[in-house]
């Protein structure tokens, strides 16, 4: 299996035990290979083997600097698709991790992928993200001719409305006077709204419960299945994986 990290935050890279700051080459070099006067580099040249046994094309913060060049590059939407075509026979599965915001790296990831899985957290921003995502799909069809559709939605941290996150903090500031019990009701109501809309848009919807072992596995740089295979999160991801395998 190969993981291609196309997010400048490089969470997939660090989550597999690789420090982005130590990588001499990264996905940045692949995108910049399409810019004039920049030396060519292939995915095969920058693939790293991680301690989990999963191969990785790492990312780094340098990737932010590549995006402005791409707007002036011909064929910029297909850079990753063309690069992965050259190595895909070497792997049963290639997972492309994209940034959470719109941009050239998301477009490249969506176009390069055979199947698309979208994740949402338990915040109101998840619903806003769904609306933006559907607009992106329409734009890709209109401007590039590629038909992209997400086949699966994963709802994360769906059973614990008290998790500290951006949504919790903003909602807490807005309705602090109502008290924590009332606040939790507001969170559950918004979760229900998101869930209803997600189910309307996607064929397959799966849930990942809150599991404190997930961030711990990321800290040690191992997949959750290797770090704590019987944890609630690992069992939920196992079920998702079993369904994804049937796509072949």
- For residues 165 and 74, what is the distance between their CA atoms, to the nearest angstrom? 39
The reported pTM is 0.82
Segments making up each domain of the chain, as ranges: 1-114, 116-210
Sign of CA dihedral 5, 7, 8, 13: negative
Q: How far apart are the first and last CA of the chain?
A: 14
pLDDT at residue 164, as a whole number: 44
Quick one: which of 81, 153, 80, 150 has its CA closest to 116? 150
Sign of CA dihedral 138, 13, 43, 72: positive
pLDDT for position 213: 93
pLDDT of residue 78: 93
Question: Token digits for 69?
Answer: 């060049």
Cα–Cα distances (Å) from 50 to 15, 198, 228, in that order, read: 10, 34, 18
pLDDT of the residue at 128: 63
Residues in the chain: 248
One pLDDT digit (tens) per residue for the chain, 248 residues: 999 999 999 999 999 999 999 999 999 999 999 888 889 999 999 999 999 999 999 999 999 999 999 888 888 899 999 999 999 999 999 999 998 877 889 999 999 999 999 887 765 555 566 777 778 888 888 888 888 888 888 888 766 544 444 555 555 565 555 555 555 565 556 566 667 777 777 778 888 888 999 999 999 999 999 999 999 999 999 999 999 988 86
E strands within 61-140? 94-97, 117-120
Q: Which of 163, 117, 111, 173 is nearest to 137 (CA)?
A: 111
* 35: its two tokens: 């810019």
Q: Does domain 1-114 have CATH number 3.40.640.10?
A: no
| 114 CB-near residues (< 8 Å, 6+ apart) | 247
Q: How far apart are CA 110 and CA 97, in angstroms?
A: 10
> Which position has the token pair 């990588």?
23
Residue 107 near residue 67 (C-beta atoms within 8 A): no
Q: What gap in Å lies between CA 16 and CA 78, rounded to an integer?
A: 26
Q: Could you tell me if 77 and 108 are in contact, meaning their C-beta atoms sit under 8 angstroms apart?
A: yes
- Collapse the DSSP code of 24 into the 3-class scheme (helix H, G, I; strand E, B; otherwise coil) and give the result: coil
Q: What is the pLDDT of residue 100?
A: 80
């Amino acid at each position: 299996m190969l993981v291609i990290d196309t997010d400048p935050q490089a969470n997939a890279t660090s989550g597999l035990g690789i420090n982005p700051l130590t990588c001499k080459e990264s996905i940045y070099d692949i995108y910049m290979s399409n810019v004039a006067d920049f030396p060519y580099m292939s995915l095969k040249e920058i693939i790293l083997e991680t301690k989990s046994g999963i191969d990785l094309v790492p990312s780094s913060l340098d990737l932010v600097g590549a995006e402005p060049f791409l707007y002036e590059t011909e064929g910029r939407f297909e850079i990753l698709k063309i690069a992965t075509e050259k190595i895909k026979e070497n792997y049963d599965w290639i997972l492309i991790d994209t940034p959470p915001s719109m941009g050239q790296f998301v477009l490249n990831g969506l176009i390069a992928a055979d199947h698309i899985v979208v994740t949402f957290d338990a915040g109101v921003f998840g619903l806003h993200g769904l609306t933006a995502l559907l607009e992106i799909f329409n734009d890709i069809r209109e401007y590039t001719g590629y038909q992209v559709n997400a086949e699966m939605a994963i709802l994360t941290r769906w059973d614990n409305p008290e998790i500290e996150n951006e949504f919790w903090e903003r909602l807490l500031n807005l309705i602090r006077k109502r008290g924590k019990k009332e606040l939790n009701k507001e969170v559950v109501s918004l979760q229900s709204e998101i869930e209803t809309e997600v189910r309307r848009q996607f064929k397959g919807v799966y849930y990942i419960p809150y599991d404190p072992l997930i961030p711990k596995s990321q800290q040690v740089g191992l997949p959750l299945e290797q770090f704590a295979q019987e944890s609630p999160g690992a069992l939920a991801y196992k079920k998702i994986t079993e369904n994804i395998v049937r796509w072949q």
